[in-house]
Amino acid sequence: MSVITYRQALRDTLRAEMLRDENVFVMGEEIGVFEGSYKITEGLLKEFGEKRVRDTPIAEEGFVGAAVGAAMLGLRPVVELMTINFSLIAIDQIVNHAAKIYGMFGGQTSVPMVIRTPGGGGQQLGATHSQNIELYYSFVPGLKVVAPSSPADAAALFRAAVRDDDPVLFLENLGLYNTKGEVPEGDESVAEIGRAKVTREGTDITLIGYSRMAMVAGQVAEQLAEQGISVEVVDLRSLRPLDRETVVESVRKTSCAVICEDDWLTYGIGAEIAASIQEGAFDYLDAPVRRVAMAEVPMPYAKPLETAALPSVESITTAVKETLDAVGRRVG
């Protein structure tokens, strides 16, 4: 078992998939000579050459569209968008082409492509470079959207994404790149897209998150365990397809739920999860479902304001304790 960073897990998996399948190639801004803004493509140009590691112009709509065409012709492009904020330039290609071609043409051609892109706040990159806008894409049938929180899941879900015959948006939070976790040596497991994971068993309350918030949820659960509070943590991992069953099953067991997300509260992923819980576990609930999200403002640049805008261990812990207090089940 090796302990590696989230960043290294992605790089190692990308290289392995390029070695496994010659149809896999990489394209994006500054991914070749510069080796990528976040060094996921470090060393790949030297190893695989310009044919399979393609530096592109600063023209997201153009190169995402080129990737759609390449995928239709049998290649498996892995597109790196420097940040999810820039996906808005390519949203027509993603939503109106990549997501719809298979259905519009009766399955005559698939679009096996991956769009890798980081997002999230906490890095003092300002309002237009610190967003989590995965909701835009999770809304769209025809796309698959995944958001792993650990190095092991990043590797297993990345393998699944590259090998999938549908377009996959692969979300990476900037705050996760340097986090570390165990990844089995020689592991070639392929995760099931659309399957959540219970990362910690508990009995008092269910805490639900994805990407960075799933990691933070684990930290909250660990701290509360020292106070005698048993928290079950569900990592969504996939936003489309969404594994409602695992969420509902957990809430039926604990009878309480708090959802945390690195996005705005209104119309968010958390709202969809809360609705799913209401439909599937209403008779089991002892308290209203709580949601914890970032402040409904453009992300501030100033560090104290940015920190205050983001959900935290403290804000999630408060929501958990208030929920348990409301039903008289708080232990500590």
Which tokens in the block code for residue 46? Answer: 């030297």
All residues at 6 or more sequence positions from 147 whose CB lies less than 8 Å from its CB, including other chains: 134, 171, 173, 210, 211, 236, 237, 238, 239
Burial class (CB in 10 A: 0-12, 13-18, 19+), 241: middle
In whole angstroms, give the CA distance from residue 260 to residue 211. 10
Amino acid at 222: E
On whether the CB atoms of residues 209 and 176 are closer than 8 A, the answer is no
Distance CA 238, CA 149 (A): 10
| Exposed/middle/buried for residue 330 (C-beta within 10 Å: 0-12, 13-18, 19+) | middle
Q: Is 60 a catalytic residue?
A: yes
Under 8 Å CB-to-CB from 104, ≥6 apart: which residues? none
Instruction: Please identify which of the residues 17, 35, 80, 129 carries the catalytic annotation.
Output: 129
Helix (H, G, I), strand (E, B) or coil at 45: helix
Q: Is 129 a catalytic residue?
A: yes
Q: Which residue among the candidates 29, 60, 134, 261 is catalytic per the annotation?
A: 60
Q: Please list the active-site residues.
A: 60, 129
